[in-house]
Chain A
């Protein structure tokens, strides 16, 4: 069974500092995709970044980067230069069937990030 673990229920970071949100996963599928989503208080789910299991380089999208350590089965999200607007719930998710017709995602329980001035 696929499983996503986010061990940090809450994180605090000062504005302009970097923060790392942890995510570990468990799958026996050799092909999979890893995602991070942001959910502000409004409830919408905003896609941030994607990492494929066979990608050689860590994914980056602006201030977001994914620290992918395949042997450890971890996919931590790094947010650089935090902004007040980054305060939100962050979810790590996995698609264990990349390339299939299913596309379903398994989500972790989330980390509530608070950025303070």
Chain B
């Protein structure tokens, strides 16, 4: 069975510090991978998605970046955090290719980031 992991689970960082959040998927190959951010009491905003190693697409301009160094690893980074980067970060995956009628996304447990 497939599983998705995220770490750390919670993080408190000062403004201006770097960030690295990691997401890994097990039990599948060549997944599509996604990073979402959820501000308090809000819906999910897609930040990045990737359809393969080294292939990253950005949805919104920001001081965050993403990388996919391995097939099932997705990393969210920042060189200098802003207060507005606080939120709940969710990684998700879905089957690549023509997924048929149910292209369900499977979500990780999330990382709660607080920037002070």
Residues of A whose CB lies within 8 Å of any CB of B are 33, 35, 37, 42-45, 47, 50, 52, 55, 91, 95, 98-110
Contacts and interface: CB of A to CB of B under 8 A. Distances in A.
B105 interface: yes
Q: Which 9 A-B pairs have the closest CB atoms?
A: A45-B107, A103-B94, A109-B43, A107-B44, A107-B43, A43-B110, A103-B103, A103-B32, A52-B101
Nearest to B100: A99
**Interface on chain A toward B: helix, strand, loop, or mixed SS?**
loop
Contacts of B32: 101-103
B88 A43 contact: yes
B88 A102 contact: no
B64 to A, nearest CB: 17
Contacts of A55: 101
B41 to A, nearest CB: 8
Interface of B: 32, 34, 42-44, 46, 49, 51, 88, 90, 92, 94-107, 109-110, 112
Given A99-B99, A101-B96, A103-B94, 7 more contacts: A43-B109, A43-B112, A44-B110, A45-B44, A98-B101, A99-B100, A103-B99
A104 B46 contact: yes
A44 B107 contact: yes
15 contacts: A33-B103, A43-B88, A43-B90, A44-B110, A45-B44, A45-B90, A45-B92, A50-B104, A101-B96, A102-B32, A102-B49, A103-B94, A105-B105, A108-B43, A110-B43
A44 B109 contact: yes
A90 to B, nearest CB: 11
Nearest to B104: A47
